Structure 1
Amino acid sequence: MTTGILPPRGAAARRRAAALRTAAFMSPWLIGFAVFFAYPLLSTVYFSFMKYDGFRPPSFNGLDNWSYVLTQYPLFWPAMRNTLWLVVVVVACRVAFGLGLGLLVTKIKTASGVFRTLFYLPYLAPPVAATLAFVFLLNPGTGPANTVLGAVGLPTPGWFTDPDWSKPALTALALWGIGDLMVIFMAALLDVPKEQYEAAELDGAGAWTRFRHITLPNISPIVLFAVVTGVIQSMQYYTQPLVAGKVAAGVIGGSGQQFEPGYPEKSTLTLPQLVYNAGFQRFDYGSACVIALVLFLLSMAFTALLMRRRGGLIGSGD
């Protein structure tokens, strides 16, 4: 006896067919996610509890790797402090400078295309080439930057050879290649409704009031995007500090030459460099996996915090 509440026999088959079609369309992403993210992440977690040097079979050692990295590894906390410094300072400076350049370019009426090109070109330079050029420009003895500063009577820092100036020099390098953020902010600024500016001007609002209550609320999703992606990129900062430290230290030999990253005095050492140092120079894959997981957890924590507080990131404009 049928009750009349069961779906028709073909409905379940149609749902299964629809689910299979959806899975087929998603399969490239699912395969890529499993192979390039899920499997490496699970392997990293697994090896973080193993003693493994890449030659002998791994053996379980519990929390020894975690204890060693967090309490005994002398390079971990300097790398952590440098990485967090770069996250806070470089991201803030890049967002502010990129927004400022975007505002400047949108206001230029004559030859605006030329200025856009000039500001964007440095972003296209390969990271290694850009870093080499910056190290030579900021050479404390013969670099043009210190030559100009000395000519006008200003102090001439040691830049990449001085631990107090190495991170500001990396910040200047990051600001030099700001073209990507400039273009993103420029597009967002051009999309702000002009009617809102006109109404605010009729009400007597000044430039700062218009920027705070009209510009910022309209581009807040772009600001959030720039901050989140900037945090992730800063947590992965590897090439520029490594190359700058090598060149400043005079280590420009072949691949067989050993180099402890972080010159000068560990001031340019970052967590990604420490992962490479522990895993491929010291052959301590367990400790390298621990550092990689710390880096991953920090990135997730920063991103979650920013996404949770996105409403208060720049203010509501009220």
Structure 2
Amino acid sequence: MSTSSSPRTLHRLIDRLPRHVDRRVRVFAWLSFLAEVLIIGTGGAVRLTGSGLGCPTWPRCTPDSLVNTPEMGIHGIIEFGNRTLTGVVGILALVVVVLMWRLRRERRAMFVLSLVVLGGIAAQAVVGGITVLTGLNPFIVGFHYIASVVLVTVCAAFLTLMYLPAGPRERAVPGWFAGLVHATTGVLALTIVFGVLTTGAGPHSGDAAAVQRNGFDAEVLEHVHAWPGYALFALTLVIVVLAWRLGLPVRRWSTALLAVEVVQIAVGLYQARNGLPEIAVGVHMVLAALTAATMTVVVLRLKSPASSADRSAERKVEAARR
């Protein structure tokens, strides 16, 4: 190969490599994630202020008005504000999909995740409508919250992959350690489910007219909810100690996970011992979503770019230089 043709070949090789995610994608991906977390907070505010039926119909706010009316007071403002934020979340998700379109082949996993978020938001709007039309059925409300947490974790997965190189990845930790992390993820999911059931049995129905609860004993569920919560903390502590001792790539993120769990446990104990104050319950809901998001990062960081792919790229570059 001549010297003059080598640079051209090298440039062609570089052009074929997966393109990096540009700044616009990063900005809107972060905005989308923050909006998903925010809507959990505003959704909690709707419930905890008794504004769940502030807009008593769906998709209109009232049978005669698309928006809230002055006669509906603060509850109408809070509920309609939450519905409006759903539109903002949807627009942000749509922008991410549009920006990822040109990278749909090079960054296929990220493109699929962006579609999942957009589709999930549309589905969530429908579930929100069903929630209103069923008079805030506690099981539908609980499902609505869990679906929101799932969307937060999908956004977290998108953000994680956004900062990682494209291409195949391989496990960067021992198999038994990966199994421990996945088992801990299952315990986290169980903790969130029991937390939702506990809230569905408690006093915060979302509206004075929505007196139906799920029928479980709230006091018993508080203890049942705490058991997997403490197991989650213990398992995470083991993960952190082992990650630092073995120098594993997840050591910092697992430490962040432990820190979030400590705050979550403190808030949970506070709300349980002080009659479930609304602000504490709302913070607890948001922290649960952030815990799930951090766990998602830990799981994805169990893998790193495949060394075989790195060697292949190096061989191609070396061949281009000859």
Give the TM-score of the pair, scaled to structure 1. 0.29
Task: Give the greater-gyration-radius structure (CA).
Answer: 1
